Amino acid sequence: MIKNNIHRILLLLVAFSLSVSTICAEEEKAEINVRELILDHVGDAYDWHIATIHHQLVSIPLPIIVKGHQSGWSFFSSAKFHHGHEAYKGFYIAPEGDYKGKIVEWVNGEEVRPWDFSLTKNAATLVMSSLVLIIFILICARWYKKREKTPENASPKGFIAFVELVIMSVVNDVIKPCIGKNYKRYTPYLLTIFFFIIFNNLLGLIPIFPGGANITGNIAITCVLALFTFVIVNFFGTKEYWKEVFWPDVPVWLKVPIPIMPAIELVGVFTKPFALMIRLFANILAGHAIVLGLTCMVFLTVSLGTAMNTGMSILSVVMTVFIDCVELLVAYIQAYVFTMLSAVFIGLSQVEAHHAKH
Regarding whether 69 and 166 lie in a shared domain, the answer is no
Regarding whether 332 and 282 lie in a shared domain, the answer is yes
Task: Tell me what pLDDT residue 354 has.
Answer: 61
Which of 80, 95, 119 is the endpoint of a domain?
A: 119
Which of 87, 119, 151 is the endpoint of a domain?
A: 119
* % of the chain surpassing 90 pLDDT: 24
User: CA angle 136-134-44, nearest 5°?
Assistant: 115
Task: Tell me what pLDDT residue 333 has.
Answer: 93
Rounded to 10 degrees, what is the CA torsion of 41, 43, 44, 50?
0
End-to-end Cα spacing for the chain: 66
Residue 171 has pLDDT above 50, yes or no: yes
Which of 89, 119, 149 is the endpoint of a domain?
A: 119
Q: Give the full edge-to-edge strand order of the sheet including 72-77.
A: 72-77, 63-68, 115-116
Residue 6 has pLDDT above 60, yes or no: no
Q: What is the pLDDT of residues 12-46, one digit of tens each?
A: 444 444 444 444 444 444 466 777 777 777 778 88
Cα–Cα dist 51/209, whole Å: 9
Of 68, 89, 69, the C-alpha closest to 77 is: 89
Residue 151 has pLDDT above 70, yes or no: no
Region 136-151: what's the mean pLDDT?
A: 80
Regarding whether 155 and 280 lie in a shared domain, the answer is yes
Instruction: Judge contact between 302 and 25, C-beta under 8 A.
Output: yes
Task: Tell me what pLDDT residue 227 has.
Answer: 95
Residue 263 has pLDDT above 60, yes or no: yes
pLDDT band at 100, cuts 50/70/90? confident
Question: Considering the domain boundaries, does residue 225 fall inside one?
Answer: yes
Regarding whether 150 and 177 lie in a shared domain, the answer is yes
pLDDT band at 191, cuts 50/70/90? very high
Cα–Cα dist 302/24, whole Å: 7
Residue 2 has pLDDT above 60, yes or no: no
Q: How high does pLDDT run on average in the chain? A: 82
Question: Considering the domain boundaries, does residue 17 fall inside one?
Answer: no
Residues found in the chain: 358
Q: Which one is predicted more confidently, 146 or 176? A: 176
Task: Tell me what pLDDT residue 334 has.
Answer: 93
Q: Which one is predicted more confidently, 57 or 138? A: 138
How many Cα atoms occupy the beta-carbon half-sphere of 71 within 13 Å?
Answer: 18
Regarding whether 130 and 106 lie in a shared domain, the answer is no
Residue 143 has pLDDT above 70, yes or no: yes
| 3-class secondary structure per residue, 29-87 | CCCCCHHHHHHHHHCCCCEEEEEEECCEEEEEECEEEEEECCCEEEEEEHHHHCCCCCC
Region 101-125: what's the mean pLDDT?
A: 87
Cα–Cα dist 301/316, whole Å: 11
Q: What is the pLDDT of residues 209-257, one digit of tens each?
A: 777 788 888 899 999 999 999 999 999 988 888 888 888 888 888 777 8
Of 189, 174, 195, 168, the C-alpha closest to 236 is: 189
Regarding whether 310 and 293 lie in a shared domain, the answer is yes
Cα–Cα dist 91/81, whole Å: 9
Regarding whether 259 and 149 lie in a shared domain, the answer is yes
Regarding whether 166 and 105 lie in a shared domain, the answer is no
pTM (2 d.p.): 0.82
Which of 21-35, 107-121, 170-184, 287-301 has the weakest average pLDDT? 21-35
Task: Tell me what pLDDT residue 239 has.
Answer: 87
Task: Tell me what pLDDT residue 26 has.
Answer: 44
Q: What is the pLDDT of residues 315-332, one digit of tens each?
A: 888 888 888 888 889 999
Give helix then strand counts, H and E, for the chain. Answer: 10, 8
pLDDT band at 181, cuts 50/70/90? confident
Task: Tell me what pLDDT residue 8 has.
Answer: 53
Task: Tell me what pLDDT residue 7 has.
Answer: 53
Task: Tell me what pLDDT residue 56 has.
Answer: 73
Residue 89 has pLDDT above 60, yes or no: yes
Instruction: Judge contact between 88 and 81, C-beta under 8 A.
Output: yes
Regarding whether 291 and 155 lie in a shared domain, the answer is yes
Regarding whether 130 and 94 lie in a shared domain, the answer is no
Instruction: Judge contact between 276 and 342, C-beta under 8 A.
Output: yes
In one-letter notation, the amino acid at residue 184 is K
Question: Considering the domain boundaries, does residue 198 fall inside one?
Answer: yes
Instruction: Judge contact between 184 and 176, C-beta under 8 A.
Output: no
Residue 289 has pLDDT above 80, yes or no: yes
Domain boundaries, position 52: 47-119
Question: In total, how many domains does the chain have?
Answer: 2
Question: Considering the domain boundaries, does residue 236 fall inside one?
Answer: yes
Cα–Cα dist 78/226, whole Å: 31
Question: Considering the domain boundaries, does residue 249 fall inside one?
Answer: yes
| 3-class secondary structure per residue, 308-344 | HHHHHHHHHHHHHHHHHHHHHHHHHHHHHHHHHHHHH
Regarding whether 337 and 199 lie in a shared domain, the answer is yes
Question: Considering the domain boundaries, does residue 11 fall inside one?
Answer: no
SS3 label, residue 103: strand
Regarding whether 179 and 324 lie in a shared domain, the answer is yes
**What is the per-residue DSSP string for 240-274?**
HHHHHHHS-SS-GGGTSSS-HHHHHHHHHHHHHHH
Question: Considering the domain boundaries, does residue 302 fall inside one?
Answer: yes
Question: Considering the domain boundaries, does residue 42 fall inside one?
Answer: no
